[in-house]
Structure 1
Amino acid sequence: MANLILASSSPRRRELLQQLGLTFEILSPDIDETVLVNESITDYVCRLAETKAQTVLIRRPHATVLAADTSLVFNDQIIGKPESKQHAFEIWSLLSEQVHEVLTGICVATAVSCQTKVVRTRVEFQKLSLDDMERYWATGEPLGKAGAYAIQGIAAQYVTRIEGSYSNVVGLPLHETVQLLKAVKALN
């Protein structure tokens, strides 16, 4: 396989990619992640994944670059990381007994090819009580997580249903990632 670079500082993406048994290095690009006026969430995650990949490819033109961007979406709004305990409780109140989506834009770029795909996963939460929220906040797990939860951790107990890729919710849809790597001939 060509020299593979993961254009991300996410430990979850690193762990997921390691599950595939691939050898890769990490170069994390610093890009502006501002949502553009009238930009759809699908276009947003695609644009960020492509921008990350192209930014790293400029520095390493002979590499195969894998980049991704994940957003948690509820009622057509991106739900980011909690800024405080109160903010986390507000997020969980929105997600309680509701279905939200996780969208990941994936991009695999080389000097001669750039393949992008968006993966959507629907996640449903149980009704979250104030006690549930207090206990979960006390674990520290929600900090730094979009939607204030980590499906691969303690929050799994609150998920009643998932439709689509589990690894997408963690941060990198593995099946689709492998398909893109094959499409640019980075994998056999």
Structure 2
Amino acid sequence: MKSIHKLPKIILASKSPRRQELLRLLDVDFEIVLKEVDESYPDDLSPEEVAVYIAEKKAKAYDDTIGNEIVLTADTIVCIDDKILGKPESAEHAVEMLQMLSGRVHRVVTGVCILYKSQYNKFFDVSEVFFRKLTDEEIKTYVKLYKPFDKAGAYGIQEWIGLTGIEKISGSYTNVVGLPTEKLYQQLVRLIS
């Protein structure tokens, strides 16, 4: 078995505490380095293409500033009926998003880009999430208490609404959290092969 402990230093270009925790659980050393990146994208891309496009765009911001490190970027989006739900702009917007997801199946897509030695290694993962029918009171209470404004689709699977409202998942749980660790591990192992 290859050990990812032999990897060069990893720079995680994400302020997401969930991605940071997942990397810690993978037991790899990393440093957080943030840069502001415009996350706009062309309108004609599929949700999978959008997630990878933004992840690569984030990685390109580091292209001229790194040496032998690995830069890891990711972007997670929620989509229902091919409509992309980004991060909510207000409490009302968050409530609206969760009402849209309530009682339905939606997809969570995470695009990942690993920049190493000027090579962009890109991939994505898709999970289907099945929400039970949520009451308006549950939705409004969740938004008020948890303020999910930094989360695509206005929810965190690891928070109260995920624990009480998600009936099942088809695909990777860690992908829904924000970083598909199963696929990431395989890609990192390839780098040291």
Conserved 8 A contact 1:96-1:128: yes
Between the aligned partners of 1:114 and 1:181, the Cα distance in structure 2 is: 13
User: 1:157-168 alignment to 2 at 5 Å?
Assistant: 157-168=164-175
TM-score normalised over the length of structure 2: 0.90
14, 19, 25: which is aligned to 1:19? 25
5+ residue gaps, structure 1: none
SS of aligned partner of 2:143: helix
* Residue equivalent to 2:189: 182
Deviation track 1:31-72 (CA, whole Å, cap 9, x = no partner) reads 211121312221111111122223223211321111111111
Counterpart amino acid of 1:65? V
Q: How many residues align?
A: 186
Between the aligned partners of 2:151 and 2:56, the Cα distance in structure 1 is: 22
Conserved 8 A contact 1:105-1:119: yes
Q: Percent identity?
A: 38
Q: Comparing 98-107 with 56-65, which one deviates more in the overlay?
A: 56-65
Conserved 8 A contact 1:104-1:119: yes
5+ residue gaps, structure 2: 1-6
TM-score normalised over the length of structure 1: 0.92
Between the aligned partners of 1:46 and 1:55, the Cα distance in structure 2 is: 15
Between the aligned partners of 1:43 and 1:134, the Cα distance in structure 2 is: 32
RMSD of equivalent CA atoms: 1.5
* Residue equivalent to 2:75: 69
User: 1:1-188 alignment to 2 at 5 Å?
Assistant: 1-156=7-162, 157-185=164-192
1:86 and 1:107, CA in 2 relative to 1: closer, same or farther beyond 3 A? same
| Pairwise CA distance, 1:29 | 2.6
| Pairwise CA distance, 1:135 | 2.3
